[in-house]
Amino acid sequence: MGGTTIGGRPDGPASAPSIRSAVSSTTSPTATAATPPPGSAALRRAGQAAVTGWRLPGTTPGLLTVLSWTAVLLVAAVTAAMAVSVSATRAAADAVAAEAAPQVEAASELYFALGDMDAQAARMIIAGTAGTLPGQDPQPRVVSDAEVRASTAASGYSSALNVFNDRRDDVGDLLRRVTDGTDGDQAASTTATRVLDGLLRYHALTAQANGVVGRGFVEAGRDPGTADQPLTEVDTSAVSYYGAATNLMHGTVMVHAQSLVDHYENAFDQAQETHQRASIVGGVVLLVGVALLLGVLITLQVVIGRRFRRRVNPWLAAATVVALAVPGTLAGILTVQGERLQTARTQDFEAYLAVSRARAAGHEATADQSRAFVAEHWGARYREAFTQRTAQLVGEDLAVDQPGAFDALTEAAAAYAADPGDIRVGGALGEVMAGAEGQLETTLAREALDRYRVYQDGDRALAGADLGTAVAELTGVGRQDIGFTSYDYDLRLERLAGHQLGSFNATMEGVRGALGGWTAVPAVFLAVGVTLLWLGVRPRLAEYR
């Protein structure tokens, strides 16, 4: 009976051991079973349960999922950092080249044009004045070489009038350019309005002075362009009108114009600093993001290698190379272009501004020199102003009226011609020489220094000269005349300024062009990075389904 069954159930105790054994073998916590091989149905079901319930991130599918999504987020962060860095650098180039630099340029040119216009007004007065002046003998002067001097004075007046009118038009155009850049800038708008108000009063005064001079020519029956003898009498009111005009110009109009230059230079620097800060922040985020992304990708590679017994996952390896190569290359390009922007500001554009200052100081010096001869009762004051202007140009030791200044200036010119690195000149002209780069720029700087040396030599020759000689020298168009030498000096600096401004603009275009193709790279990087991650991880997760 012990071996039989009743109703299909075990009969007797003989069946008990088998039941206990079966239960023990399936429920004992110490029971061992063979681990299902990777890819088996049991393992896939366990993985599916873990993924579906988003639990046990320490399991292989959970860990892969967490690492994969972390990598995707870091790819997005790196993409955003690259986009911000490229955008900030391009925005810096655009802001500097299209907004800040043109405003500084217009303001600097405005200041120069105002000074030159006033210098031409002084030339007109002195060219039309060879006789009665405040504090002089009311009788006409007797001058030697009358016909030559008359022709020189007349042609000088006509030339100065033409240049004056040209500069007046330039000032109008430049003032419009300056005011166009004052939208939303109340300080600049107010200053530009003050320049305009002062300029209107200045033109009224110079028109009266020029009208007096022109009447003198007409009343004498001579055309200023064809006069054959010197004009020996001019109404002294011309000098008074001009004195009031030049005081207004230098005491009010040019002061406000210089304020515009300073204002826009500060705005230039602030714009560049703002974009530099944005570039730095983007660079830091990019560096941190790339480091974290590389860490996650390497971790993914290690996890897959250990748990799936594969040495290298090619898709993740490709993603790692892309994550390192693309941001690294972009970072290098941004660094180079950022340095180019900084160099363009501190070298090319600053050199251009130095040339503008040297041109303005040169014209103001010429005007002071002319005024010192026109108005003898103001002569000492204007002579002192002339000396100060030349000190601004070449430094205190080389200024006119300083002992041994001309000999030292001649030695400095020879030294610079032999070695452009040997700069013995201070002031604005010394800054011009220091900022000159390349053969063309150093040649123009050297020629400008040489023309200034000839100019200063001509001024020495005027010491003690009568008014007729001074008129011939200051308004003459001969190559050795002071008037022509001053023009020749400015011509060299004008060419130098044009070359430096061209170099600056070319650098800006180069920066913008170098970054032009990189604007689409962040989006491509995002697409490629996510795709490589998907190709590298998805097959492994699929083994658990």
Which of 311 and 68 is assigned the larger pLDDT? 68
Share of the chain above pLDDT 70, in %: 74
3-state secondary structure of 410: helix
| pLDDT for residue 62 | 83
> For the chain, how far is it from start to end, CA to CA, in angstroms?
51
| pLDDT for residue 89 | 80
CA distance 476 to 295: 78
- Rounded average pLDDT over 75-89: 86
Among 20-29, 241-250, 495-504, the range with the most confident prediction by mean pLDDT is 495-504
24-33, 269-278, 467-476: which range is least confident on average? 24-33
| 111 pLDDT above the threshold of 80 | yes
| pLDDT for residue 16 | 40
| pLDDT for residue 180 | 79
| 37 pLDDT above the threshold of 80 | no
DSSP string, 449-490: HHHHHHHHHHHHHTTT--HHHHHHHHH--STTSHHHHHHHHH
Q: In the chain, how long is the greatest CA-to-CA distance?
A: 167
DSSP string, 492-537: HHHHHHHHHHHHHHHHHHHHHHHHHTTSSHHHHHHHHHHHHHHHHH
Helix (H), strand (E), coil (C) string for 67-105:
HHHHHHHHHHHHHHHHHHHHHHHHHHHHHHHHHHHHHHH
| pLDDT for residue 115 | 87
Continuous segment of H or E residues that includes residue 436:
none
CB contact at 8 A, 249 and 114: yes
At 198, the amino acid letter reads G
Which of 477 and 226 is assigned the larger pLDDT? 477
Of the candidates 80, 88, 84, 540, the residue with the CA atom closest to the CA atom of residue 293: 80
CB contact at 8 A, 362 and 487: no
For 386-434, what is each residue's pLDDT tens digit? 888 889 899 988 988 888 888 999 999 999 999 999 999 999 999 999 9
At 397, the amino acid letter reads D
Give the global pTM: 0.69
CA distance 542 to 545: 5
| 118 pLDDT above the threshold of 90 | no
For 293-312, what is each residue's pLDDT tens digit? 999 999 888 888 887 777 78
Sign of CA dihedral 185, 186, 191, 196: positive
The CA-based angle 283-288-292, given to 5 degrees, is 145
3-state secondary structure of 281: helix
- Rounded average pLDDT over 519-542: 87
CB contact at 8 A, 154 and 171: no
204-213, 245-254, 310-319: which range is least confident on average? 204-213
Share of the chain above pLDDT 90, in %: 21
3-state secondary structure of 224: coil
CB contact at 8 A, 180 and 227: no
| pLDDT for residue 55 | 42
Distances (CA, A) of 199 to 159, 241, 535: 22, 15, 72
- Band of residue 209 on the pLDDT scale cut at 50, 70, 90: confident
Name residues whose C-beta falls within 8 Å of residue 336's C-beta, 6 or more positions apart in sequence: 514
CA distance 478 to 471: 13
Which of 153 and 520 is assigned the larger pLDDT? 520
Instruction: Find how far residue 206's CA is from the centre of its chain.
Output: 37
| pLDDT for residue 129 | 53
44-72 burial: b if 16+ Cβ within 10 Å, else e: bebbeebbeeeeeeebbbbbbbebbebbb
- Rounded average pLDDT over 345-359: 87
For the chain, the domains span 60-134+144-543
- Band of residue 468 on the pLDDT scale cut at 50, 70, 90: low
Distances (CA, A) of 123 to 209, 295, 503, 522: 12, 75, 34, 62
The region that residue 28 occupies, defined by phi over 0 for left and psi between -120 and 50 for alpha, beta otherwise, is: beta
| pLDDT for residue 253 | 92
CB contact at 8 A, 117 and 274: no
For 479-499, what is each residue's pLDDT tens digit? 667 778 888 899 999 999 999
Tokens of 227: 């006069």
CA distance 61 to 283: 34
| pLDDT for residue 433 | 93
Which of 224 and 364 is assigned the larger pLDDT? 364
3-state secondary structure of 9: strand
- Rounded average pLDDT over 458-470: 73
| pLDDT for residue 99 | 76
| pLDDT for residue 128 | 61
Which of 442 and 34 is assigned the larger pLDDT? 442
| pLDDT for residue 127 | 67
Q: What is the mean pLDDT of the chain?
A: 76
